[in-house]
Amino acid sequence: MEHQLTGNEEFTLHGKSAGITAMDFWRWAFSDLIDNTQRGVMAEFLVYSSLNRITHDMQIRINWLPFDVTSPSGRRIEVKSAAYIQAWTPENIFAQIRFDIGKKLAWDNATATSATVAKRNCDLYVFCLFTAKTKDVSLLDLDYWDFYVLPTSVLDEKVPEQKGIALSSLLKLEPVKTDYAGLGAVIESIKL
């Protein structure tokens, strides 16, 4: 497993400092948090951080797992995010809230192969919604995030072949809605 970087690590050229750091890269690459890709990774971090104390030796994000986060009790969590505002849309145009719930082929790092049958490879979903309707609100303001937690078994029973779900349809499935402060407890206590 890779070790966690601090941001102070320097790029080198010919064995000497190139004058740029990992933090410089992060600031350049990941400052646009409203971008769908960055927002999705940030939502995964919010779920992870709601379950785990953030320390200098915390687990780093692992790509290519068939789910996004594992809770301390071992629950496998798929994290999905959406927002009313998008990086590329005008201020007064709001996106329809829709989440991907399609079945996926899981990748197995040990065998370097993917599964032959697509399925939902998690115990539960956390649907993360950034609710601000203006670009003046920072994605770092946790007061503007709603979280909807739903066991995968509900999706498998009610919408087994559905690939996406609108917020209005999701709400009909009665997920547990919470804010960031209650998210970790809901994840660990929701009946699977």
CB 34 within 8 A of CB 84: no
Q: Are residues 4 and 24 in the same domain?
A: yes
Question: How many helices (H) and strands (E) are present in the chain, helices listed first?
Answer: 5, 11
Q: Are residues 73 and 112 in the same domain?
A: yes
What residues pair up with 104 in beta bridges, in sequence order? 119
* pLDDT above 50: residue 188: yes
- pLDDT tens by residue, 18-34: 999 999 998 998 888 88
Mean pLDDT of the chain: 90
For residue 176, what are the CA distances in angstroms to 41, 59, 60, 64, 159? 22, 27, 27, 27, 18
1 — pLDDT class (breaks 50, 70, 90) = very low
Tell me, yes or no, whether 43 and 125 share the same domain. Answer: yes
Q: Say yes or no: 63 and 155 in one domain.
A: yes
**Backbone dihedral region for residue 109 (phi beyond 0: left; psi -120 to 50: alpha; all else: beta):** alpha
The DSSP bridge pattern shows strands 76-83 and 124-130 to be parallel
- Segments forming the whole domain that contains residue 156: 33-189
The answer to whether the beta carbons of residues 81 and 131 sit under 8 Å apart is no
Q: What is the DSSP letter of 119?
A: B
Contact indicator for 192, 123 with CB cutoff of 8 Å:
yes
Q: How far apart are CA 21 and CA 185, in angstroms?
A: 37
Cα 100 versus chain centre, distance: 12
Domain co-membership, 18 together with 44: no
pLDDT tens profile 61-110: 777 778 999 999 999 999 999 999 988 777 778 889 999 999 998 887 77
**pTM of the predicted model, to two decimals?**
0.88
Say whether both 159 and 84 belong to one domain: yes
pLDDT of the residue at 58: 64
Q: Are residues 51 and 17 in the same domain?
A: no
How many domains does the chain fold into?
2
Q: What are phi and psi of 5, to 5 degrees?
A: -85, 155
The fraction of the chain above a pLDDT of 70, given in percent, is 95
DSSP letters, 144-164, are GEEEEEEEHHHHHHHSTT--E
The tokens describing 19, both together, are: 């004058």
pLDDT band at 9 (very low <50, low <70, confident <90, very high): very high
